[in-house]
Chains A and B, each alone.
Chain A
């Protein structure tokens, strides 16, 4: 191999070190207008009155857009996956999170745009917000979303993501010990060094050129096309060089808003989010709440797992149902657990909608299940490497959703870690591999979940 496996230099590295790499904010077009948004100051409120006329009349203001300017106001980014649309591009009758965009202004310069935003007259009637996902199911919980307080459209009509395998009742009955714990990783921000930015240029041909920091050119193009109700060739998305994304530059809405402003004003429009907007108003990693109860034997076999996950989706669905589905598929982590009862809910709260971030759906489950694994080892007085090695995925084991593992590497990575930590494994464990289970590594409780060799 010449190129594959080689430590070749970055394709675009020279541009980075000479300051020549062009990011969206470095693109210069003449006649460019600056955009600023009116954002909800409240967590939850109805909009009782709303008037943009003073802003529109302000000298230097070229366009103001509200929900009324959007041809298709609600577009589900993952509607192809059966996740229905639920979120207006710009707020209409209500706001559901602090920072939700209500109107966007395009003006000659940043100061004028900010002054125009201040000149928009809006009256809000505050409502009681809901923040605690554990309380979302209570009868007296404030209602956040038109679907209720949790997503109800898994496979069309289910209100949770379910995994069932074997019998957790049997497993818990047979267990020597049951270990139960609760895991709550936080919402964190992507913190890309480049904040959200979009520049849309109306071309003489009638097309719109969209300079975007999106992580997904075609995905974002599809979103703009859907909101604007135009065919894809009306748009040209220019990008591909992003100043950090980490999952936060996929559900971008700034392109669509700039596109509408560019169409309305006939001028190029740029919207560069401030760092404060990025920290306070951009979509975040989700907070999760996970409760695990594992049925274990005294020699460290995990017979069964019951798990409840609540995913804090914030005010709208975005990608949460997808993330929770992925989470459910991986809730046994790198191990083979034959008896499973998993229930997961996408729960709505009055906070900034949560989105994908590095590890989406699985970061949370890895935190919960791995901390839990260490706890199990501690409670049972067993070696944390050994507990992991015996329960590790092996060829022929099946996953929570009944996929056969054909090349799992749990054993490889755990043994390599032991080596790296100068931990000497007992010979029985040092000899382990990914080979199909047999003998002592195939206790009765794992027999039923093994894939039938004839089927695969």
Chain B
């Protein structure tokens, strides 16, 4: 079977029951989707399959013949970061970074289907993606900023619109 990943088509050697996650990470060397739980519970393995976010840890690759997969590597590169990648950088939406790939894929899908900067709508779209480091506030800030069409100064990070600074250091 063949699979297109971030624009490159591959002949998949793994058997049909191999998970898309294992095919991406072990066979094709695309390591941004992470094995966070392999139970479908954390979202760290999420990739776009024909534009839709899917848990690659639960997807048997045999079901995907001819499909087109997008991972974070396909969103943009350091020299040409996508708006979402810029937003995650500027809004400090990644701390340890382990959940970030899956989180960004879900956010990308939300934005592509016309998602707005409404914080509740963003929370609902990303629910099911677990982050242990950030407390979620700045992730929502970043996605909302892209929805608004903000441009981003990457030499600095922003105070958090989703958190009220009541005083002291600003």
Q: Do A and B contact each other directly (Cβ–Cβ < 8 Å)?
A: yes
Q: Which A positions have Cβ atoms within 8 angstroms of B?
A: 5-10, 12-23, 25-26, 28, 190-195, 242-244, 246, 272, 274-276, 416, 419-420
Q: Is B163 an interface residue (CB 8 A)?
A: no
Nearest opposing residue in chain B for A422, CB measure = B166
Q: Are B157 and A19 in contact (CB under 8 A)?
A: no
Distance A244 CA – B97 CA, assembled complex (angstroms)? 9
Nearest opposing residue in chain A for B157, CB measure = A7
Distance A23 CA – B41 CA, assembled complex (angstroms)? 20
Known interface pairs A10-B92, A26-B25; 20 further A-B residue pairs with C-beta atoms within 8 A, sorted by A's residue number: A10-B89, A13-B88, A13-B89, A16-B97, A18-B32, A18-B72, A18-B73, A18-B75, A18-B81, A19-B31, A23-B98, A191-B130, A194-B96, A195-B37, A244-B98, A246-B132, A272-B35, A275-B36, A275-B41, A416-B167
Selected A-B contacts with CB under 8 Å, 16 pairs: A7-B156, A12-B97, A13-B89, A14-B78, A16-B94, A17-B81, A18-B77, A18-B85, A20-B73, A26-B25, A28-B29, A192-B96, A195-B35, A244-B98, A419-B166, A420-B166
Asked, given contacts A9-B156, A28-B29, whether A193 binds B131 with beta carbons under 8 Å apart, the answer is yes
CB contact between B98 and one of A192, A274, A275 (< 8 Å): that residue: A192
Nearest opposing residue in chain A for B142, CB measure = A17
CB contact between A244 and one of B37, B133, B156 (< 8 Å): that residue: B133
CB-CB < 8 A to B156: which residues of A?
6-9
Q: Are B155 and A9 in contact (CB under 8 A)?
A: yes
Asked, given contacts A19-B32, A19-B101, whether A10 binds B94 with beta carbons under 8 Å apart, the answer is yes
CB-CB < 8 A to A20: which residues of B?
32, 73, 78
Q: Is B99 an interface residue (CB 8 A)?
A: yes
CB-CB < 8 A to A10: which residues of B?
89, 92, 94, 157
Asked, given contacts A9-B155, A243-B98, whether A193 binds B72 with beta carbons under 8 Å apart, the answer is no
Distance A419 CA – B167 CA, assembled complex (angstroms)? 9
Which residues 22-69 of B sit at the A interface, judged by CB distance below 8 A? 25, 29, 31-32, 34-39, 41-42, 44
Q: Mark B155-170, 1 if CB is under 8 A from A, else 0.
A: 1111100000011110
Nearest opposing residue in chain B for A5, CB measure = B169
Distance A419 CA – B38 CA, assembled complex (angstroms)? 46
Min C-beta distance of A95 to chain B, whole Å: 26
CB-CB < 8 A to A23: which residues of B?
34, 98
CB-CB < 8 A to A16: which residues of B?
88, 94, 97, 100
Q: Are B37 and A275 in contact (CB under 8 A)?
A: yes
Q: Are A8 and B166 in contact (CB under 8 A)?
A: no
Q: Is B145 an interface residue (CB 8 A)?
A: no
CB-CB < 8 A to A195: which residues of B?
35-37
Asked, given contacts A17-B85, A18-B73, A19-B101, whether A9 binds B34 with beta carbons under 8 Å apart, the answer is no
Distance A18 CA – B75 CA, assembled complex (angstroms)? 8
Q: Mark B82-96, 1 if CB is under 8 A from A, else 0.
A: 000100111010101
Q: Are A194 and B98 in contact (CB under 8 A)?
A: yes
Q: Is B128 an interface residue (CB 8 A)?
A: no
Nearest opposing residue in chain B for A191, CB measure = B132
Nearest opposing residue in chain B for A23, CB measure = B98
CB-CB < 8 A to A5: which residues of B?
169
Q: Are B97 and A21 in contact (CB under 8 A)?
A: yes
Distance A260 CA – B97 CA, assembled complex (angstroms)? 30
Looking at B31, B39, B98, B157, the one whose CB has the most chain A CB atoms below 10 A away is B98
Min C-beta distance of A281 to chain B, whole Å: 15
Min C-beta distance of B83 to chain A, whole Å: 11
Asked, given contacts A16-B97, A275-B42, A420-B166, whether A193 binds B154 with beta carbons under 8 Å apart, the answer is no
Distance A134 CA – B38 CA, assembled complex (angstroms)? 38
Min C-beta distance of B113 to chain A, whole Å: 21
Q: Are A13 and B94 in contact (CB under 8 A)?
A: yes
Min C-beta distance of A19 to chain B, whole Å: 3
Asked, given contacts A6-B156, A9-B154, A192-B132, whether A17 binds B104 with beta carbons under 8 Å apart, the answer is yes
Nearest opposing residue in chain B for A189, CB measure = B132
Min C-beta distance of A7 to chain B, whole Å: 5
Min C-beta distance of A357 to chain B, whole Å: 12
CB-CB < 8 A to A25: which residues of B?
31, 34-35
CB-CB < 8 A to A191: which residues of B?
130, 132
Distance A7 CA – B153 CA, assembled complex (angstroms)? 12
Distance A216 CA – B29 CA, assembled complex (angstroms)? 28
Asked, given contacts A21-B97, A246-B132, whether A193 binds B158 with beta carbons under 8 Å apart, the answer is no
Q: Are A244 and B132 in contact (CB under 8 A)?
A: yes
CB-CB < 8 A to A246: which residues of B?
132
Distance A252 CA – B41 CA, assembled complex (angstroms)? 24
CB-CB < 8 A to A242: which residues of B?
96
Distance A409 CA – B91 CA, assembled complex (angstroms)? 30
Nearest opposing residue in chain A for B170, CB measure = A7
CB contact between A19 and one of B73, B159, B168 (< 8 Å): that residue: B73
Distance A237 CA – B35 CA, assembled complex (angstroms)? 23
CB-CB < 8 A to B97: which residues of A?
12, 15-17, 21, 243
Which residues 100-130 of B sit at the A interface, judged by CB distance below 8 A? 100-101, 104, 130
CB-CB < 8 A to B38: which residues of A?
274-275
Asked, given contacts A26-B31, A419-B166, whether A193 binds B36 with beta carbons under 8 Å apart, the answer is yes
Distance A17 CA – B89 CA, assembled complex (angstroms)? 7
Q: Are A17 and B72 in contact (CB under 8 A)?
A: yes
CB-CB < 8 A to A8: which residues of B?
155-157
Min C-beta distance of A24 to chain B, whole Å: 11
Distance A28 CA – B37 CA, assembled complex (angstroms)? 20
CB-CB < 8 A to B73: which residues of A?
18-20
Min C-beta distance of B103 to chain A, whole Å: 10
Min C-beta distance of B146 to chain A, whole Å: 12
Q: Are B98 and A193 in contact (CB under 8 A)?
A: yes
Distance A20 CA – B6 CA, assembled complex (angstroms)? 14
